[in-house]
Amino acid sequence: MHPDSVPTRGRTLDHAAPVYDICEPVVMMGRQAGYNRQIIALLSLQKQHRVLDLGCGTGALTRAIGDRLGDAAGGMALGIDAAAAMIRVAIKKRESATCRFEVVAAESLPYEAASFDAVVSSLFFHHVDLDLKECALREAFRVLRPGGLLIVADMHTPSTLMGKLISYGARWFLMQPEIGENISGVLPELMCKAGFEQPRLHAMFFGYIALFATRKPQGTPS
Binding stretches for ligand SAM (CB under 6 A): 8, 10-13, 24, 55-57, 61, 81-83, 86, 105-107, 122-124, 127-128, 132
User: Which of 76, 85 has the CB closer to ligand SAM?
Assistant: 85
Say if residues 148 and 117 touch (Cβ distance below 8 Å): yes
| CA-closest candidate to residue 181, choices 136, 140, 144 | 136
Helix spans in the chain (H): 20-27, 32-43, 60-66, 84-94, 130-143, 161-173, 177-183, 186-193
User: Which of 107, 117 has the CB closer to ligand SAM?
Assistant: 107
User: Which of 203, 220 has the CB closer to ligand SAM?
Assistant: 203
- Minimum distance of ligand SAM from residue 70's CB (angstroms): 23
Task: Determine the number of helices (DSSP H) and then strands (DSSP E) in the chain.
Answer: 8, 7
- Minimum distance of ligand SAM from residue 79's CB (angstroms): 8
Task: Tell me how far CA of residue 61 lies from CA of 94, 167, 192, in angstroms.
Answer: 10, 22, 25
Say if residues 175 and 157 touch (Cβ distance below 8 Å): no
User: Which of 53, 146 has the CB closer to ligand SAM?
Assistant: 53
Say if residues 149 and 44 touch (Cβ distance below 8 Å): yes
**Spacing of C-alpha 189 from chain mean position:** 17
- Minimum distance of ligand SAM from residue 53's CB (angstroms): 7
- Minimum distance of ligand SAM from residue 71's CB (angstroms): 23
- Minimum distance of ligand SAM from residue 35's CB (angstroms): 8
User: Which of 28, 70 has the CB closer to ligand SAM?
Assistant: 28
Closest-approach residue to ligand SAM (CB): 10
